[in-house]
Amino acid sequence: MANRTTPASAQRGVTMADVARHAGVSRTAVSFVLSSRETASISEDTKHRILEAVQTLGYRPNAGARALASQRSDWYGLVTEIVTAPFAVNIIKGAQDQAWLDKRFLLIASTEQGGGRPDSEHAGMEEAAVEKLLEQRVAGILYAATWHRAVSVPEIIREIPTVLINCFDAEGTLPSIVPDERGGGRRATERLLAAGHRRIGFINLDPDIPAAVGRLEGYYDALATAGVAPDPGLIVSGHATADGGYTAARELLDRSGKAGRPTALFCANDRMAMGAYDAIKEHGLAIPHDIAVIGFDNQELIAAYLRPKLTTVALPFEEMGALGVQTLASLTAGQPITAHQQMVDCPLLERFSV
Amino acid sequence: MANRTTPASAQRGVTMADVARHAGVSRTAVSFVLSSRETASISEDTKHRILEAVQTLGYRPNAGARALASQRSDWYGLVTEIVTAPFAVNIIKGAQDQAWLDKRFLLIASTEQGGGRPDSEHAGMEEAAVEKLLEQRVAGILYAATWHRAVSVPEIIREIPTVLINCFDAEGTLPSIVPDERGGGRRATERLLAAGHRRIGFINLDPDIPAAVGRLEGYYDALATAGVAPDPGLIVSGHATADGGYTAARELLDRSGKAGRPTALFCANDRMAMGAYDAIKEHGLAIPHDIAVIGFDNQELIAAYLRPKLTTVALPFEEMGALGVQTLASLTAGQPITAHQQMVDCPLLERFSV
DNA sequence: GCAATCAACTAACGCGCGTAACTTAGATCA
DNA sequence: TGATCTAAGTTACGCGCGTTAGTTGATTGC
């Protein structure tokens, strides 16, 4: 049996010079053909000979050398804390896929390591990560956060084109891409209103964060448009966990305000919705028959496995990642950015809890 | 106010030559100092001058040029389908962290794009991904799977050092790292036995996959060691979903075999445990008072948010990722690999369902 | 007092490639 | 027929760096 381990290409170092020699042309000709320059004129015949040589020798371009010679690179850096957080990992996927389409590579630098470092140390890691990426001569940097918030980026990041994803810098000097929380909140509330609900409880997150602010605004927007007066008694804040949702839901269900208990619950995230499910079931109520529930975030592992499956608003992680790469591409191409902060829609995913 | 945008370093292209000029030495001297070669002798004085020049000029080495000149690279490629699957993403984290410690970069190539491609197309994507990584001249490749199984890797991957993570090749010719399913199954069952349970139901996955085989073997191991005769009536297979777990659990609970219903349930994954919880609650039973439950996989989003929180066996994703990088490091260093298949322990995480 | 040693460097080459500037043989034109 | 132009290439340089093979002046050994 023939030696099947390695085609000719395996012997490291088939270079353009080898291809040139094999095709009987100069190295430059090979370069011209491979980079398909229109300005240079190479006859169809030799072009064909060269491509054939490439094939038989198993030539593989050396991306590093190419970057060195051409003074530009095919790489974007992605610095992020989200590698661990299964939550927002789809940002990576979106960015990765888009980068792949653009024939670019993503160098991912994780800034989260070991548990519970102090902030100062984390900042140091971020700077180190950016430094490393700059050493790789990336063409630009994506900076992605686990949850939508204001961040302070290391200063050196400003040396090259940068796009923030799922976060924004307090000064507002860097282009950023964030979810349209408000639109999502409106959409969810509208859905409940459309189902005939008028007393809609809202279980909110820590009211200081952008997600809470936006989602609540959207809730108000929808009520206002529908001409329903908001009832402050229907709005509570809870810990962003299943337990928090459980407690908050009990509070709302026990409460018999001026017009009785809510007939629907809009939970500002899916984990809280998970807890709310428990509270509702303990109350002997059925979802969605007795009470409707809508979540937020679309954490698949929760939303798709709750019984009944949870109708929820999705955070557009993948889209944000892709848009980030696109934005970075225009930035590095020198095109001016139209909007400094781009918002991406949060679509409603209909399942069976409404 | 001074122009704060850019330190000297920002002007792209502070090279070693610049540093040398600034320090009044040859470029070679700079190179020697920066790569801290012991063989070369540079006086403390000039060494200091050089480092100072590096500092004031903001010199940053060019990783690409370095790789080109030294004929080796700081990169490992990670080709995987798991970018999307929040599930096994910790493999990436483990690998990333370990690579960072080794001062190496991970180039991640996702092979999963758009939904539901046919297998053939997926294979094509994998080959393209590997090809791209080879163009980057990575020093080695990690190939990681979402779930533990046999895979067939693209042939070109054999051109360079490769380590499989969470999977193995059918021929067994590549070093691989997999979870110790059997040990995990044993550990879970032992825990239930230690809690006094003797009738332990086992809800298994599709019995053909390695995870199902191993976990069941572990279950038998523990029973045998404890001198408990296995009851075939206590073992069922279900769909690997919450619904599947729900159905399977009902079946076990309704069944009043020779010795009544099981007092504990070992579910071969957490999603099924989630469904089992529902079935148990519908039966009016309390966890863990009336019946204990143990899961497998430690899907945080489920296990940590179920009420009560689920005791489960963790898949050592992070460890496998880290071990993968370590193994690859020894491979690329030319050291022979001791074991062709390395197994990593699956620890039991105690929560409140036992 | 002179060869041998050594510390402290430097000159020069090449890694694989992009690219501007030049060459050459044939076609075109006045 | 000589000048001009073009197609089809080639020569030569440099990207930033690692590395080998020197070079140079001071010190040592006898």
Encode pLDDT of B288-340 as tens digits: 999 999 999 998 878 887 889 999 999 999 999 999 999 999 999 877 766 68
Predicted pLDDT of residue A304 = 82
- Read off the pLDDT of each residue in A44-59 and give the average, rounded to a whole number: 95
Is B354 within a domain?
Answer: no
> How far is it, in rounded angstroms, from Cα A202 to Cα A184?
14
Can you say how many angstroms the Cα of residue B217 is from the centroid of all Cα atoms in its chain?
23
Residue A2 scores a pLDDT above 50: no
- Read off the pLDDT of each residue in A234-240 and give the average, rounded to a whole number: 95
Residue A200 scores a pLDDT above 80: yes
Predicted pLDDT of residue A13 = 81
Contact A60, A9 (CB under 8 A): yes
- Domain of A46? 8-61
Tally Cβ neighbours within 10 Å of residue B38: 6
Tokens linked to A274: 């998970």
Question: Could you tell me if A215 and A300 lie in one domain?
Answer: yes
Predicted pLDDT of residue B39 = 73
Q: Which amino acid is at B180?
A: D
Contact A219, A231 (CB under 8 A): no
User: Angle A44-57/A16-23 helices, nearest 10 degrees?
Assistant: 120
| Inter-chain touch A96–B90, beta carbons under 8 Å | no
Strand C–CB A309 distance below 7 A: no
Q: Where are the alpha helices (DSSP H) in chain A?
A: 16-23, 27-34, 44-57, 63-70, 90-101, 119-135, 181-194, 210-226, 242-254, 270-282, 300-303, 317-332
B316 upstream amide cis, omega within 30 of 0: no
Question: Could you tell me if B205 and B304 lie in one domain?
Answer: yes
| CATH number for B241 | 3.40.50.2300
Residue B284 scores a pLDDT above 80: yes
Question: Could you tell me if B134 and B196 lie in one domain?
Answer: no
Strand D–CB B69 distance below 7 A: yes
Predicted pLDDT of residue B2 = 33
What would the pLDDT profile of A316-333 be if each residue is shown by its tens digit?
999 999 999 999 999 998
Contact status of B290 with chain A (Cβ, < 8 Å): no
State which H helix or E strand residue B76 sits in: strand B75-80
Residue A121 scores a pLDDT above 80: no
Tokens linked to A235: 């709005």
Contact B325, B98 (CB under 8 A): yes
What would the pLDDT profile of A134-176 be if each residue is shown by its tens digit?
999 999 999 999 999 999 999 999 999 999 999 999 988 999 9
Contact status of B158 with chain A (Cβ, < 8 Å): yes
Residue B1 scores a pLDDT above 70: no
- Of the CA atoms within 13 Å of residue B95, those in its CB half-sphere come to 35
Tally Cβ neighbours within 10 Å of residue B288: 18
Classified as helix, coil or strand, A63 is helix
Predicted pLDDT of residue B84 = 64
Tokens linked to A143: 């900076």
State chain A's mean pLDDT as an integer. 90
| CATH number for B22 | 1.10.260.40
- Read off the pLDDT of each residue in A222-226 and give the average, rounded to a whole number: 98
What would the pLDDT profile of B126-140 be if each residue is shown by its tens digit?
999 999 999 999 999
Question: Could you tell me if B160 and B150 lie in one domain?
Answer: yes
> How far is it, in rounded angstroms, from Cα A277 to Cα B241?
19
Percent of chain A residues topping a pLDDT of 70: 91
Residue A78 scores a pLDDT above 60: yes
Is A352 within a domain?
Answer: no
- Read off the pLDDT of each residue in A32-40 and give the average, rounded to a whole number: 84
Tokens linked to A122: 């984390």
What would the pLDDT profile of A98-107 be if each residue is shown by its tens digit?
999 999 989 9
Question: Could you tell me if A151 and A200 lie in one domain?
Answer: no
| Inter-chain touch A63–B275, beta carbons under 8 Å | no
Classified as helix, coil or strand, A228 is coil
Residue B82 scores a pLDDT above 90: no
> What band does A84 get if pLDDT is binned at 50, 70 and 90?
low
Residue B83 scores a pLDDT above 80: no
Provide, in whole angstroms, the distance separating residue B9's CA from nucleotide C18's C1'.
Answer: 25
Question: Could you tell me if B221 and B297 lie in one domain?
Answer: yes
Question: Could you tell me if B190 and B169 lie in one domain?
Answer: no
Predicted pLDDT of residue A302 = 84
- Residue B285's contacts (CB-CB under 8 Å, 6 or more residues apart) are B253, B291
> How far is it, in rounded angstroms, from Cα A49 to Cα B321?
44
Predicted pLDDT of residue B38 = 74
- The DSSP bridge pattern shows strands A292-297 and A264-267 to be parallel
- Read off the pLDDT of each residue in A74-93 and give the average, rounded to a whole number: 83
Is B113 within a domain?
Answer: yes
Question: Could you tell me if A191 and A309 lie in one domain?
Answer: yes
Contact status of A340 with chain B (Cβ, < 8 Å): no
Chain B: residue nearest A62 by CA? B135
Question: Could you tell me if B200 and B306 lie in one domain?
Answer: yes
Sign of the C-alpha dihedral computed for residues B252, B88, A95 and B133 taken in this order: negative
> How far is it, in rounded angstroms, from Cα A75 to Cα A95?
12
- Residue B103's contacts (CB-CB under 8 Å, 6 or more residues apart) are B74
Residue B119 scores a pLDDT above 50: yes
* CB-count burial class (<10 Å; 0-12, 13-18, 19+) for B124: middle
Predicted pLDDT of residue A193 = 98
> How far is it, in rounded angstroms, from Cα A140 to Cα A329?
8
Tokens linked to A86: 């299964």
* CB-count burial class (<10 Å; 0-12, 13-18, 19+) for A231: middle
Question: Could you tell me if A248 and A141 lie in one domain?
Answer: no
Q: Which amino acid is at B144?
A: A
Predicted pLDDT of residue A124 = 82
Tokens linked to B126: 């994998």
> How far is it, in rounded angstroms, from Cα A78 to Cα A143?
6
Residue A203 scores a pLDDT above 70: yes
> How far is it, in rounded angstroms, from Cα B200 to Cα B236?
12
Is B351 within a domain?
Answer: no
Nearest-neighbour CA in chain B from A225: distance (Å):
36
Nearest nucleotide to B68 (CA to C1') is: C15
Q: How many CB pairs under 8 A join A and B?
A: 137
Is B6 within a domain?
Answer: no
Contacts of A62 in chain B (CB under 8 A): 68, 135, 137
Residue B4 scores a pLDDT above 60: no
Nearest-neighbour CA in chain A from B86: distance (Å):
5
Mutation target among A110, A171, A281, A283 for the B interface, most CBs of B within 10 A: A110
| Inter-chain touch A63–B281, beta carbons under 8 Å | no
Residue B257 scores a pLDDT above 80: no
Predicted pLDDT of residue B352 = 96
Backbone angles phi, psi at B144, to 5 degrees: -115, 140
Which of A278, A270, A275 lies closest to A301 in space, CA to CA? Answer: A270
Number of domains in chain A: 3
Question: Could you tell me if B201 and B310 lie in one domain?
Answer: yes
Is A13 within a domain?
Answer: yes
Is A67 within a domain?
Answer: no
Is B7 within a domain?
Answer: no
The residue that leads in pLDDT, A139 or B36, is A139
Question: Could you tell me if A249 and A332 lie in one domain?
Answer: no
State chain B's mean pLDDT as an integer. 90
| Inter-chain touch B106–A105, beta carbons under 8 Å | no
Q: What is the DSSP letter of A84?
A: T
Residue B285 scores a pLDDT above 90: yes
Mean pLDDT lowest among A197-211, B9-23, B58-72? B9-23
What would the pLDDT profile of B144-199 be if each residue is shown by its tens digit?
999 999 999 999 999 999 999 999 999 889 999 999 999 999 999 999 999 999 99
